[in-house]
Structure 1
Amino acid sequence: MSNYIKFTLLAAVSMILWSGCSKFLDTQPQGEYTEDNYPYPAGGGPFDSYLFGAYNELRSYNIHVDGFVNAFSIRSDDADKGSTASDGGADVISMDNFPVLPSSGRANALWTGHFGLINKCNTAISFIDSVGESVGTEELRLQGIAEMRFLRGYAYFNLVRLFGRVPKMDKKIENVSSPVNIPQSTAAEIYTFIEEDLKYAIQYLPPSWDAKFNGRVTKGAANGILAKVYLQQHKWQQAYDAANLVRNSGQYDLSVDYNKIFSEEGENTKESVFEIQATASPAVTQANGIQYASLQGVRGSNNWNLGWGWNTPSESLEAAYEAGDPRKARTILYSSTSTVKNKSIFGEDMPIYPTDVPNPRYNHKVLSSPNLRNTISRGSWWMNVRILRYADVVLMFAEAANELGKSEEARTAVNEIRERARRGAAAGILPDITETDQASLRTRIRQERRVELGMEHDRFFDLVRWGTAQTALHAAGKTNFQNSRDVLLPIPQTQIDLSKNLLTQNPGY
């Protein structure tokens, strides 16, 4: 990856994909595949042009950038909005301090972005069904549908956690960006739909792909997301079983050093279960990438003008680490002060707070290589987004095992995570946990999830499913949070209006 040119599933052009053209690209992204040299049938399939249009949506600004960072991270006690007090206006500040209003542009963008992805999945499924046996093999047809049902299930998992009751759209809709004429299903109905999609995906997805198809979803990704779906519903045995299938698949392990996971070198390693692909070059700095890292980049001057400076680690997260935990330094990027010179993971001197940068802490996990910043751009659009890491699966297994009374299995799994974290650290750092009773072990597992997965999108939903959101958020200073209202975002008023009040608002708004 020295020249950082990667094949990306995500470079397909939507106009081509949805006009029925059977060719993959009409342009050549960064010197890679063209219409003529795309590798089908040697490893690809006749449906890939349709499938890649859905994969492409994963990099959408409305799915995994602005609203995602706000709703999945800034709402939690791990992160603050960052930047300057007024930056982003009331719409962003409400994500940090609550309540989010029904007029929120970011809530509406998350709604339309995810339903746009769902409609592309349904379009691809409809096409594959329509051609029947006339195109491709039965194996390729089932596999293509499985990929789309995984992405559809993942999109609905985000929607049900964000909004609760949402419309169930299982068929292609023509010429609309959102399903305004479909009533809402209950959260329970949506969870059943998600489980059905992911179980189908598990049945027909491969365990792995050739490296040129990095980012295409696998059986392990489907089992991992399904484990998370079960965990959110407290279905402990099902979560245990799904996570255990990933653990026993032989595809993943904890061999990758924690410091390496979040770098360009750490992309698509044994740690990666589901990872959104992005790439860039000096000639194409943004078109094949994602703005995720740029949104969170250090907001400073000159060489440290890397982004918006949003989603900064909170004092609450900073205080959560045990003494000497090496994961803290890889998660929290400290600005220098007038008396203390701090450095980045790459050995760079950090700018001074508050004279050079407006925040004392930034997200270290999204800091890109200075070599690439100097040769491509400071925006870091090439950084992949880790949606599901193997460590997350191990910790889900541990949590489910503990709730099922399997304390020894739970403790062993947590200690696997701690062993990786302390590699190379001084003796006595992060010793194995020894708790045996369920309540104490539950506390330790929850703590380990927080520090292992800090700034990685799950903390808010963990707090909600544990029933501790209000206590934790109030302790972190987010005292406007009300459990009776803020566990869900409001249904966007724009969507209620478009539906002519067929959609109804969530409680408390």
Structure 2
Amino acid sequence: MKNILKFKKRHFALLILMIATTFVACDKDFLDRQAQGEYNQDNYPYPGGSGPYDQFINAAYSSLRNYNATVMPFIAAVSIRSDDADKGSTPSDGADALQLDNFNITPANGLVNALWSGHISLIADCNYILDRIKNDPNPNTAANLKIDAEAQAKFLRGYAYFMMVRLYGRVPIIDSITTSSAGAANIPQSTPAQVYAFIEKDLQFAAANLAPSYDPKFIGRITVGAANGLLAKVYLTQRKWAQAMATANLVMTSGQYDLSVPYSKVFDEAGENSKESIFEVQATATAAVPEQFGSQYAQVQGVRGSGDWNLGWGFNVPSTALEAAYETGDPRKARTILYSGGTSLYGEAVPAGLPNPRYNNKVSTPRAKQTAINSRSAWWMNVRLLRYADVVLMYAEAANELGGVANTTSALSALNSVRARARGGNNAILPNVVTTDQLVLSNAIRQERRVELGMEHERFFDIVRWGIAADVLQAQGKTFVVGKHEILPIPQTQIDLSKGVLTQNFGYN
């Protein structure tokens, strides 16, 4: 495998130059996840038996855990930019994150460049898988193994491009590996419409060819439910209401997912890969190997304090606006916001006087687990990228937008199913929504998305696609400029590497 990976690095040398990053060594860095045991690079369990492309597919899954893909650059762009969160940490820490929080973002911002690099690296992994399938030297490889590998690669590539188009708008479509002297650096940007068409094609292929589930040893592997769930969000973002409703319904009627997991348990370790989970980045950690197969996602948001309460970097803290958004008695507030001077989910007294009054409680972990692996940074925590409740609320939104008695009834049923799970049997709170007025129901669904998915990567994209980002963010004192701040600047590093082939987004020159 090491020789193959060296070949892979040489094959992508020009692409790596373009994105100003390098592949992290991924020998035996596999998707299979095990809760107990102590692993190292030589004994990490290999989930054999699925086909000859595992090592390349697992390298792509590993890229999802990378810092640039789903950690600090991701959190800053999708959460800190929204009205649900503030930068956090300390006033002097995180200048690049502060730029995103205050919308004085420059093309030289390091997080903006890192986020670009992380997703282009994932795309490169996927293109390599597709090239291996196309040029497989073994004529006896079974067709079904090729199709399954192709579907996984196209899902991950579709996900990466969906992130890219929402983050940057015009991006280059790189659909193959290249060894030419020009390389991928000279591929011009495509329009958002062209990128969305490319994404739809990838995800439609994935949805048509992935399995509904896999053997438990492949826990976290992409399924048809993940493909349809993400495709529904792609349709929803483009206001393709009928396609979004129908595709979300495929997930809801698949029998693979439901709302049976209590909201308070969804974000615990026991809630990982549950009936609520559709697409999760897999992470694990042990005392012997605390970081290699884990993610810093929880660490960068953990409580910043001292002693036993020095749990992380303290970024991405819930805002007062999010705090005020919950209905009286909504239990989701307590699972989302951890207060300085309060009590943790595990009965621990939280010190007063921490650098921030609030922290993201969805990344909290029990102290017993921290002690067991001698780490307070929670590198074992999965990153939830798509939950079932999100799909149910997408269905409700699309149905309401389509209108008509039947669709309104369907929208209310979906919306109220999420509220029922949240109330947990307490009928004194979160009563069913009963309005049939389309505008009032639309606002109720939007409100439900906010509190159900608080601090979970959706709010900024939601307010942009609803066309209310300026109103919402300016009300919070942000200098949000319509027609500019819906997307990020193209990183200046990438423009320079492309020798001007890539051009800057409006307003950032």
The alignment status of 1:93 with 2:101, answered yes or no, reads no
Partner in structure 2 of residue 416 of structure 1: 417
Say yes or no: does 1:493 pair with 2:498: no
Structure 2 distance, partners of 1:261, 1:330, is 10
C-alpha separation in 2, matches of 1:378 and 1:151:
31
In 2, Cα distance between equivalents of 1:126 and 1:245: 30
Residue 17 of structure 1, CA deviation: 4.0
Q: C-alpha deviations, 1:292-333, integer Å up to 9, x for none?
A: 000000000001101100000000000000000000000001
**Against the structure 1 CA distance between its residues 444 and 506, is the aligned structure 2 distance closer, same or farther, given a 3 Å change threshold?**
same
* 1:389 maps onto 2:387 in alignment: yes
**Runs (4+) off by over 6 Å:** 26-29, 32-37, 175-178
**Structure 1 residue 38: deviation in Å?**
3.6
> Which TM-score applies when normalising by structure 1?
0.91
Distance in structure 1 (CA, Å) of the matches to 2:244 and 2:416: 19
Matched, 1:468 2:471: no
- Relative distance call for 1:119 and 1:359 in structure 2 (3 A) is same
Deviations 1:275-296 (A, max 9, x none): 0000000011111101000000
Quote the Cα distance in structure 1 between the aligned partners of 2:475 and 2:3.
49
Find the aligned partners of 1:176 and 1:322 in 2 and give their Cα distance: 59
Task: Report how far residue 113 of structure 1 moved.
Answer: 1.0
The equivalent residue for 1:141 is: 146
Give the whole-Å Cα distance in 1 for the aligned partners of 2:182 and 2:93: 29
Gaps of 5+ in 2: 10-25
Say if 1:116 and 1:177, in contact at 8 Å, map to a contact too. Answer: no
Tell me, yes or no, if the aligned pair for 1:24 and 1:35 is still in contact at 8 Å: no
1:368 aligned partner, one-letter code: T
Structure 1 residue aligned with 2:65: 59
Normalised TM-score (structure 2): 0.91
Q: Is the 8 A contact 1:112 1:177 kept in 2?
A: no
Segment of structure 1 superposing worse, 131-140 or 358-367: 131-140
Q: CA deviation at 1:57?
A: 0.1
In structure 2, distance between residues paired with 1:87 and 1:183: 35
Shift of 1:135: 4.4
Report 1:263-278 matches (<5 A): 263-278=268-283
Aligned mates of 2:160, 2:183 — CA distance in 1: 13
Q: Which amino acid letter does the alignment assign opposite residue 198 of structure 1?
A: L
- How do 1:14-413 and structure 2 match up within 5 A? 17=5, 19=7, 25=28, 30-31=38-39, 38-41=46-49, 44-89=50-95, 91-131=96-136, 134-174=139-179, 179-336=184-341, 342-353=342-353, 357-376=354-373, 377-405=375-403, 406-413=407-414
CA contact (8 A) 2:284 2:379 kept: yes
Q: CA deviation at 1:39?
A: 4.4
**Kept in 2: contact 1:99–1:486 (CA 8 A):** no
Structure 1 residues 32, 358: CA separation in 2 closer, same or farther (over 3 Å shift)? closer
Who is 2:432 aligned against? 432
Q: SS at the partner of 1:412? A: helix
Q: Partner of 2:507 in structure 1?
A: 508
Contact 1:278–1:288 (Cα < 8 Å) also in 2? yes
Distance 1:401 1:33, change over 3 A: farther
Structure 1 counterpart of 2:454: 454
**Mapped contact 1:17–1:53 kept (Cα < 8 A):** no
CA contact under 8 A between 1:18 and 1:50: conserved in structure 2?
A: no
Alpha-carbon offset, residue 37 of structure 1: 7.1
Distance 2:182 2:336 in 1: 37
TM-aligned CA distance change 1:114 to 1:174, over 3 Å: farther
Counterparts of 2:245 and 2:40, CA distance in 1 = 41
Q: CA offset at residue 35 of structure 1?
A: 8.0
Distance 1:15 1:275 in 2: 30
Q: What is the identity percentage for the equivalent residue pairs of Structure 1 and Structure 2?
A: 56
- What residue identity is the alignment partner of 1:384? N
Matched AA of 1:436: T
1:26, CA displacement in angstroms? Answer: 9.1
Q: Distance in 2 between matches of 1:275 and 1:438?
A: 33
How many residue pairs get matched? 483
- Look up the SS of the partner of 1:483 in the other structure: coil
**1:124-144 Cα distance to aligned partner (Å, 9 max, x none):** 110111016624210010000
Question: How many angstroms apart in 1 are the aligned matches of 2:76 and 2:241?
Answer: 29
User: How big is the shift at 1:477?
Assistant: 2.5
- Where does the alignment leave 5 or more consecutive residues of structure 1 unmatched? 1-12, 337-341
- Aligned AA (1:379): S
Structure 1 CA distance for aligned equivalents of residues 347 and 412 of structure 2: 36
Does the 8 A contact of 1:46 with 1:135 survive in 2? Answer: no
Change in CA separation of 1:493 and 1:288 when aligned onto 2, cut-off 3 Å = same
- Which residue identity is paired with 1:131? D
Residues 423-465 of structure 1 deviation map (CA, whole Å, 9 limit, x = unaligned): 143x320000011011000000000000000000010000000
Indicate conservation of the 8 Å contact 2:89/2:355, yes or no: yes
Distance 2:297 2:67 in 1: 8
Structure 1 window deviating more from structure 2 (169-178 vs 54-63): it is 169-178
Cα distance, 1:382–1:16 mapped onto 2, change above 3 Å: farther
Q: For the residues of structure 2 that align with 1:196 and 1:48, how far apart are their CA atoms? A: 23
